[in-house]
Structure formats: structure tokens, C-alpha cells
Amino acid sequence: MSSSADNELVARAVSGQDTAAFGELVRRHQSHVRNFLRKLAGDYALADDLAQDCFMHAWDKLQTYSGRGSFIGWLLKVAYTTFLQSKRKSKRYAEILESAGQVADQEGRSSVQPVDEIADLDKYLAVLTTEERAIMVMSYACGLSHREIGDATDMPVGTVKSVIFRGKEKIRNSFEIKDHQHG
Amino acid sequence: MKSKIINMAEKSKDAEDRLLELLFDSEPVADDGFSVRVVRKISRRLWLRRLTLPIAAVIGGAIAFKPLAGLVAALSNLSSLIPEAAINSAASSVPQLQTIVLGAVLLAVGLVGMRMIEE
């Protein structure tokens, strides 16, 4: 996936409000964005809804993409912001429901995910904070450089490195805990 | 000796990173009409945005039409009461063609400016 082709498509989409060019960008990157959000949200249906919102936001903000970093890095920044906003909103929503005494209802509505799709990765991701999870997924699943992750999360490169180090340590420890439990 | 140790450390670091990459690796998600849905949603929103201003103008015009017509009727009734001298002096203060053109240009610039701000 060449970044010059991405930049060309972005230019076409911005200058002529070309939805076909943007559609091509969506086709090229939807897999990365949806995988990123699936790992972050842990719920496929929610992740796909968020991915759709992410691309809508990306369309609105497309003129702010300067073309300096990779387009997928910029897109994952939009995806991460969309995820955080949705998390904040759902937290507020849960608080309102709780105060109205409807928590039981909400639990009944939680999305159903096939048992075989709950992989080991989800268990390991569960030990990480949202921030650590996002950065680890950007690094190991999406192959972003530390600088690109820094741009996407508004963090200095040094902080990104230390978050990755901490995340690795947590995963390593959870491996050890598992080994002890089974051995 | 030292370089050997460093190389071993790098190798073990690489192995751990490779393991994590394998752990985080997942099958590419099939598009399954996802991009088409996104583009359709964007196109719909673009159309809505394009239609908003004309629709608002038509609705505003429709709402303003009745009181405006009443006002014009009242003014025409009033004109019969006004002495001819006063009408002549008022006619001289009616805006000339240049003023009308300037007004139209300003209106057009204002509309274009509004559109740019909106976008």
C-alpha cells in the first residue's frame, strides 16, 4: 500500500469532494481500522459501528491531513479518538442508567460474540489499560513506527516506548502467571 | 565477547517482538460491502448539506411572504394619503442602479462566504 497513492487519493477527495476516491481509501484501509477497533473494543459489532463513525469523521477532517506521516497512522488517530469519545459517552450513559436503576437491562443487551472467536489475545489484552492496548495494537498489529504512534496518540516518542515496554512486561507476567497456574 | 552478548540480547528481543507480532496478528477483515456503506452514507450527507441552504431559503421565503404582502398592501394604501411633494422627494432618494448592483454583489459575496464557513 503505497503512501503516494494514498496522498493522491486524499488530494482527489479533498479538492473535488470525490467520494469515489475516498471510497478507495476506505477499501484500502478498512481492514486495519476494523482490526484495530475490534482489538480495542473487544466487541465486533461495536467495533464495526465505530469504524463507520471513524471514516465519517475522517471524511470531515480530511483537509487536516498534511501528508507528512502515513495515512494509516492519521486514520488510526481518528479511530482512537472515535473510540475514546464513544467510551466516554457510553460511560455517561451507563451512569444515567445506573441512577435510574436499569443496570440489569443493560447487561442483558451486551453484545454476543462467538466463543471460538475469543482468542488468547483477548485475555492478554485484558491485562492492559486502554492506552497500552491501543499503543501495543498500533505497534504489533498495524506495524506503525514509534514516531507514527506518537503522532496518533499525541505522545512523545519516549513515552510511547515506555508504554510498549510496560505493556510487554505485563503480558510477559501474565504468561508466567498462566504457566504457574497450569504447571 | 561484549558484542556477542549484545547480539544475543538483540536476538532475544527480536524473538519476543516476533512472538508479540504473531500474538497480535489477525486475518484481514473482508470488506463485505463496508466501504460501499460508508460512501453511501457520505453521499447522503453531502446531498443533505447541499439541500439545507436552498430549503431553508424557500421555507424562510414562504414564512415571510404573508406578512411582507400585508406590508406592501398597507404601504400602497398609505401612499394615497401622502402629499405629492413628499412622494417626489422620496422618489429622488430611491436607490440608483449602482447601489442595487453593489447590494447584489455584497449579497452574493456574503452567501459565498457563508458557504465557505460552513464547509
Percent of chain A with pLDDT over 70: 78
Please give the C-alpha separations between residue A58 and each of A51, A54, A151, B41, in angstroms, as whole numbers.
10, 6, 16, 13
Q: Enumerate the residues of chain B whose CB falls inside 8 A of the CB of residue A19.
A: 39, 42-43, 46
Which runs of consecutive H residues, i.e. helices, occur in chain A?
3-16, 19-41, 44-61, 71-99, 103-108, 120-126, 130-136, 146-153, 157-182
For A26-77, the pLDDT digits (tens) are 999 999 999 999 988 888 899 999 999 999 999 999 999 988 888 999 999 9
Q: What's the pLDDT at A56?
A: 94
Nearest CA in chain A to B118: A60
Residue A13 has pLDDT above 70, yes or no: yes
Residue A177 has pLDDT above 80, yes or no: no
Please indicate whether, in this complex, the C-beta atoms of B37 and A52 are within 8 angstroms of each other: yes
For A35-47, the pLDDT digits (tens) are 999 988 888 899 9
What ipTM is given for this predicted complex?
0.71
Q: What's the pLDDT at A171?
A: 83
Q: How far is A2 from chain B (nearest CA, A)?
A: 18
Could you tell me the pLDDT band of residue A175, with boundaries at 50, 70 and 90? low
Rounded to a whole number of angstroms, the distance between the first and last alpha carbons of chain A is 44
Residue B100 has pLDDT above 50, yes or no: yes
Nearest CA in chain A to B19: A140
Contacts with A122 (C-beta within 8 Å, 6 or more apart), sequence order: A42
For B14-33, the pLDDT digits (tens) are 777 888 888 888 888 889 89
Residue A110 has pLDDT above 60, yes or no: no
Chain B interface residues (partner A, CB cutoff 8 A): 16-17, 20-21, 23-26, 28-31, 34-39, 41-43, 45-46
In whole angstroms, what is the distance from residue B4 CA to residue B13 CA?
14
Q: Enumerate the residues of chain A whose CB falls inside 8 A of the CB of residue B16.
A: 168, 172
Q: How far is A68 from chain B (nearest CA, A)?
A: 23
Chain A interface residues (partner B, CB cutoff 8 A): 17, 19-20, 22-23, 26-27, 30-31, 34-35, 38-39, 48, 51-52, 55-56, 59, 120-121, 124, 136-137, 140-141, 168, 171-172
Please give the domain boundaries of chain A with CATH numbers for all domains: 1-113 (1.10.1740.10), 119-183 (1.10.10.10)
Q: What's the pLDDT at A58?
A: 94
What's the mean pLDDT when you consider all of chain A? 81
Please indicate whether, in this complex, the C-beta atoms of A52 and B34 are within 8 angstroms of each other: yes
Question: Which region among A88-102, B40-54, B65-79 has the lowest average model confidence (pLDDT)?
Answer: A88-102
In whole angstroms, what is the distance from residue A143 CA to residue A145 CA?
7
Please indicate whether, in this complex, the C-beta atoms of B24 and A141 are within 8 angstroms of each other: yes
Taking 3-state DSSP, the helix, strand and coil percentages for chain B, each rounded to the nearest 5, stand at 85, 0, 15
For B54-94, the pLDDT digits (tens) are 888 888 888 888 788 888 888 877 767 766 666 666 666 65
Residue A146 has pLDDT above 80, yes or no: yes
Q: What's the pLDDT at B36?
A: 93
